[in-house]
Amino acid sequence: MRHLKVEFGSPEWLHARLGLPTASCFEKVLTPKTLKPSAQSVGYMNHLLAEWALGIPLQSDGTDFMERGIQLEGEAVRLYEMERDVDTQAGGFCTTDDGRIGCSPDRLVGEDGGLEIKSPAPHTHIRYLLGSPVDDYLLQVQGSLWVTKRKWWDVMSYHPDMPAKYVRVLPYPVIHEALDSALQGFLAQMDAAKDQLRALGVIPQTTSMAA
């Protein structure tokens, strides 16, 4: 694993992930329920290829609750560290050893763990309190475990006016094998598409590890 100590959302973070498939979008490569190729993979690949060609991030606008989650993350981290009696560090951006696939952990916990924080709408938090948030983020969390090779990942649902919900997730080898196969195939298709685009006169502007 490579760990880049860049701030989430910063120009350095955006540059580091430019043109790379990342854990938050693995469900666009692999369907979580069936572990079969996703119908969204072509659109996602074209998005990444456009970033590679233009050298700029093509970010979709964040939702209100995504922005809220960023604002509440500091509170959530302090609560997690206090209730779990641990210290954490900013996750930055992590990649596989070859630098071609990445994830952005909210926090890294010690040498073995990671933390994914969600600050959902109140009714969604209620659903998580009564059940679990893991299914909604299955490939993101398992993908982060796969990229970082860590032993466990905590998923935290946080709302400032209700108790937090914590679920610890362990690596699931069947999912990791499916991710490895799907992502290697996805990268091979991307490489072939880059060759075609170069032959058509596209001069890539990106200088990231995706080049």
Structural domain range at position 57: 2-199
- Which of 23, 27, 7 has its CA nearest to residue 15? 7
CA distances to 61, 152, 167 from 98, rounded to whole Å, are 30, 22, 30
> In this structure, what CATH number is given to the domain that contains residue 99?
3.90.320.10
Say if 110 falls within a structural domain. Answer: yes
What is residue 69's predicted lDDT score, i.e. its pLDDT? Answer: 59
Check whether 80 has a pLDDT greater than 90: yes
The total number of structural domains that make up the chain: 1
- Which of 77, 80, 107, 78 has its CA nearest to residue 91? 107
Instruction: Write out pLDDT tens, residues 88-121.
Output: 999 999 999 999 999 999 999 999 999 999 999 9
Q: CA-CA distance, 160 to 171, in Å (whole number)?
A: 29
Say if 206 falls within a structural domain. Answer: no
Say if 205 falls within a structural domain. Answer: no
Say if 211 falls within a structural domain. Answer: no
Check whether 60 has a pLDDT greater than 70: no
pLDDT category of residue 71 using cuts at 50, 70 and 90: confident
Say if 210 falls within a structural domain. Answer: no
Pairing outcome for strands 93-95 and 2-4: antiparallel
pLDDT category of residue 66 using cuts at 50, 70 and 90: low
Amino acid identity for residue 150 in this structure: R
The pLDDT mean for the chain works out to: 93
Check whether 4 has a pLDDT greater than 90: yes
Mean pLDDT of 174-203: 98
Say if 209 falls within a structural domain. Answer: no
